[in-house]
Amino acid sequence: MVKCAQGPKCMYPTTLTLLLVGFFIWSNSALAAMSSTNYRIDWDTVGAGGSDSSSSATYQLRDTIGNTSIGGSSSATYDLNAGYRGGVFDRVVAFDLYAQTGSNTTAISLSSTTITVGSTSTFSVGDFVALIQDKGASQVSAVGEIVSIGASSLTVDELKNAGVAPTIDGTNDFVYKLSGTIINFGSINSLTVGSGIIAMNATVDNDAGYSIQVYDDGNLRSGGNDINDVSDGTVSVGAEEYGARSSDTSVAGSTFDSQETAFTTSMQTVVDESQGGFERRNFLTLKVSVTPSTPQIGTYSHSISFILSGNF
């Protein structure tokens, strides 16, 4: 329990817990497969040679020599793509969340995808990180994966942003490690806006793309007290508000792409990709603010669930 006299410097420890409940890919077409109790053949071929599968460390090949009856056909319930193994398609879905942790360092400068930092001691190659310009109410963010570490620098594979790239001058600029599913905003007060990043990394082998939706289990709360959902599109200093904005600037069916929006117990779209891809990244920027009269008791928290689904 945290107690203090009400005033503009009163501290509000706030923890946000995130829960990934699952994801799915669903198709409404049927495939002509042969199956038994223990085996299934999705596609077969009659040919004069080739192999079922040839592979190396980075590639895989399925080939056939001398196919017959080449072409496509369909009915109300089946699709057939015949010839040269045209129907072979391994559906692939991978979905990971990375939440902003307390591990951070000062960002001093930025050159392409290399960030000069105050310290590299808490980072490793392969870590996902958020680069943040002017942390707080007006911050500009980007995410990437560390590919190399120098004496005083971190180089990432890309800096995925929300349409505006961070400009780093070493003043209130930071690099945060992204890991796990818990964000801790730390102690906030009525003079600042607390913020945190949730990165989403999706590999989806689906031509029509995918969407990511979120819902929560109720307001950010501590016992019987809660923090109001943002209602005017902006989480502002000195107001009691909580919400998030997506790095995807073209979301259909919600306002997460254009303004800071409240989580609800109903599913809302935060990412809407028109095509699949390998390790496509997006992120949410969460913000919270309080007033001097917000109750200073305990730890405020709630759970957010994420669902990825294919577009068909």
For residue 296, give both structure tokens.
């200073």
Percent of the chain with pLDDT over 90: 55
pLDDT digit string, tens, across residues 252-291? 889 999 999 999 999 999 999 998 888 899 999 999 999 9
Q: pLDDT band at 7, cuts 50/70/90?
A: very low
Domain map (residue ranges) of the chain: 12-25+94-310
pLDDT at 56: 73
**Burial environment of residue 48 by CB neighbours within 10 A (0 to 12, 13 to 18, 19 or more):** exposed
What tokens appear for 245 in the block?
A: 């904005």
Q: For residue 242, what are the CA distances in angstroms to 87, 208, 219, 254?
A: 48, 33, 9, 17
pLDDT (average), residues 28-50: 58
Q: C-alpha angle 96/102/104, rounded to 5°? A: 95
CA distances from 192 to 80, 102, 136, 143 (A): 60, 18, 7, 23
pLDDT in tens, 85-110: 555 555 578 899 999 998 999 999 99
- 191 has pLDDT over 50: yes
Residue 30, pLDDT score: 38
Residue type, 87: G
Least confident of 21-25, 119-123, 239-243: 21-25
Task: Encode pLDDT of 283-301 as tens digits.
Answer: 999 999 999 998 876 788 8
Q: Please give the mean pLDDT across all residues of the chain.
A: 82
Q: Which helix (H) or strand (E) holds 41?
A: strand 40-41
Average pLDDT, integer, range 140-165: 96
Lowest mean pLDDT of 51-55, 116-120, 187-191, name the range. Answer: 51-55
Q: Say how many C-beta atoms besides its own lie within 10 A of residue 144's C-beta.
A: 24
CB 98 within 8 A of CB 178: yes
pLDDT band at 176 (very low <50, low <70, confident <90, very high): very high
* Residue found under tokens 């969407």: 211
